[in-house]
Amino acid sequence: MSETNLIHLKAPNCWINDPNGFIYFKGMYHLFYQCFPYSAQWGRMHWGHAVSKDLVHWEHKGIALYPSKKDDRSGCFSGSAVEWNGKMHLIYTGVNYLQEDPENINTCLNDQFQSAQLMITSENGMTFDNLADKKTILPPIEKPHMGSKTHTRDPKVWREKDTWYMVLGSSVEEKGRLLFYRSKDLEHWEYVSHAEKDNFGWMWECPDYFETDGKKVLIFSPMGFLKEGKAYDSAAICMIPEFDTKSCIMHLPDEFQFLDYGLDLYAPQSATDAEGRRVLVAWARMPEAVDGKWNGMFCIPRIVEVKNGHIYFRPHPNMTNQFTKKITSPLEAGKGGYRISVDMHQGSEINIGGYRILYQKNRVYADRSAVFAGHNEIRCQFETPEIREGNHLDIYVDANLIEVYINDGEYVLSNVVYSLSNEIQAENYEIFTTET
């Protein structure tokens, strides 16, 4: 398994979901991900592994983690990576099914499973000894008022001064919450505090907390948050919290942004890049496998910045620098797809192979109905909040994912699509493709 992926990292002929263990380690970007290697549907989770020198060209490295211990016998769920003493440490959730589905032992029945937190250590970030180097660092939670024995997962670990911190997503009495722990050695962890908020769903998946240019950012994916009755009732959201490192007390504001207004992206994870910038990737949820073979891909790595209380997500410069070759039609585009650059005005519309983008009342609207056939259970129409800063769009188009960046990341709206045509209807636009 060592095929190369350009621009969007895609599932290597199987199923993938969340990005995991994203880290710049010894001169190389490592992106692990939730993976069921045997078919294009979700099952007993493994960690797939891909590496890149530039966040643009990715090479698949096969499976890094697989179920091997009692505590992760039913799956290696999401988690994060840190470097310490020159080694890579992957901290993740191990799942143990208490009631296996006899017809599909890769899934469990009636939510009967328990979750522990584990760590595996690797000298070089390339080889992982699943038998010798795994340790359980937090057993399943036994105090229901503190967190759920079942739904506590997705550790994100970071260091401040001489202490390690961990945030986990959890649930108590049908309400999502975050649990904060700290440690001196990554192995022994002490519970410190929790944070919660009304009306933000029943369980919070994949929390991520970091500072960028001194500004704090919290990202998580609450389940049961969107109430419109369509198939995805969860979404990735972000906000600017207050956080006191000493007490691990976090206050969550009422204001939040969606990570992406196309509502397909989920379970994002961030890392710092070679220049120390905060960079993030997220899973693009796909209702159908492509060619019946692969399901799941990641968005373009995005730089996260906070300006005037607003969180921006712009394409990583390594990516923007790729799309420099001017072309006149999508038919001339290379393997990495193409970028459309366009200024919108009130009432204007672009049609990209069936995907419609409209600009009205200072908002960007998108409609994918014509390129999403057979998926009525999932939303097709989307809109951004009111835009403040201009009306420039950079639209990255790949066969199954369109990413619309508005005003260099003021908002982003990305959608999964199928069967795009090569026709573009728009005014005053330019198209660029990659040199390779």
Active-site residues, by number, are 18
Length of the chain: 436
Beta carbons within 10 angstroms of residue 322's beta carbon? 24
The two most distant CA atoms of the chain are separated, in Å, by 62
For 249-260, the DSSP string reads EEE--S--EES-
Q: Is 154 in the site for ligand FRU (CB under 6 A)?
A: yes
Please tell me whether residue 330 adopts helix, strand or coil conformation: helix
Nearer to ligand FRU, 266 or 355 (CB): 266
Nearer to ligand FRU, 42 or 429 (CB): 42
Rounded to a whole number of angstroms, the minimum distance from the CB of residue 347 to ligand FRU is 38
Rounded to a whole number of angstroms, the minimum distance from the CB of residue 44 to ligand FRU is 10
Q: Where is 320: in which H helix or E strand?
A: helix 317-320
In contact, 241 and 230? CB cutoff 8 Å? no
In contact, 239 and 250? CB cutoff 8 Å? no
Rounded to a whole number of angstroms, the minimum distance from the CB of residue 14 to ligand FRU is 13
Residue of the chain from 9, 50, 267, 387 that contacts ligand FRU (CB under 6 A) = 267
Cα 360 to Cα 42, 115, 132, 306: the distances in Å are 39, 47, 59, 26
Nearer to ligand FRU, 17 or 322 (CB): 17
**Site map 108..147 versus ligand FRU, x via CB under 6 A:** ----------------------------------------
Q: Is 273 in the site for ligand FRU (CB under 6 A)?
A: no
Residues 203-218, buried b or exposed e (16+ Cβ, 10 A)?
bbbbbbbbebeeeebb
For the stretch 59-63, contacts whose Cβ atoms lie closer than 8 Å and that sit 24 or more positions apart, written own/partner, are 59/2, 59/3, 59/4, 59/5, 60/1, 60/2, 60/3, 60/4, 60/5, 60/12, 61/1, 61/2, 61/126, 62/1, 62/2, 63/35, 63/37
Nearer to ligand FRU, 18 or 208 (CB): 18
Rounded to a whole number of angstroms, the minimum distance from the CB of residue 203 to ligand FRU is 8
Q: Is 257 in the site for ligand FRU (CB under 6 A)?
A: no
Rounded to a whole number of angstroms, the minimum distance from the CB of residue 265 to ligand FRU is 11
Residue of the chain from 77, 202, 204, 243 that contacts ligand FRU (CB under 6 A) = 77
Nearer to ligand FRU, 77 or 396 (CB): 77
Residue of the chain from 153, 182, 316, 368 that contacts ligand FRU (CB under 6 A) = 153
For 128-156, the DSSP string reads --TTTSEEEEEPPP--TTT--SSS-EEEE
Nearer to ligand FRU, 42 or 365 (CB): 42
Cα 18 to Cα 73, 258, 265: the distances in Å are 19, 17, 10
Structure tokens given for 185: 């050695």
Residues numbered 3-62 forming contacts with ligand FRU, rule: CB under 6 A = 17-18, 34, 45
Q: Is 252 in the site for ligand FRU (CB under 6 A)?
A: no
CA 341 to chain centre: 25
Closest CA to 24 of 52, 59, 5, 49: 52
Residue of the chain from 11, 90, 186, 206 that contacts ligand FRU (CB under 6 A) = 206
Structure tokens given for 266: 């989920």
Q: Where is 317: in which H helix or E strand?
A: helix 317-320
**Site map 297..326 versus ligand FRU, x via CB under 6 A:** ------------------------------
Binding residues for ligand FRU, total number by CB under 6 A: 13
Residue of the chain from 5, 74, 78, 384 that contacts ligand FRU (CB under 6 A) = 78
- Using CA atoms, how far apart are residues 146 and 280, in angstroms rounded to an integer? 30
Nearer to ligand FRU, 205 or 394 (CB): 205
Residue of the chain from 5, 93, 96, 130 that contacts ligand FRU (CB under 6 A) = 93
Which residues bind to ligand FRU, rule: CB under 6 A?
17-18, 34, 45, 77-78, 93, 153-154, 205-206, 266-267
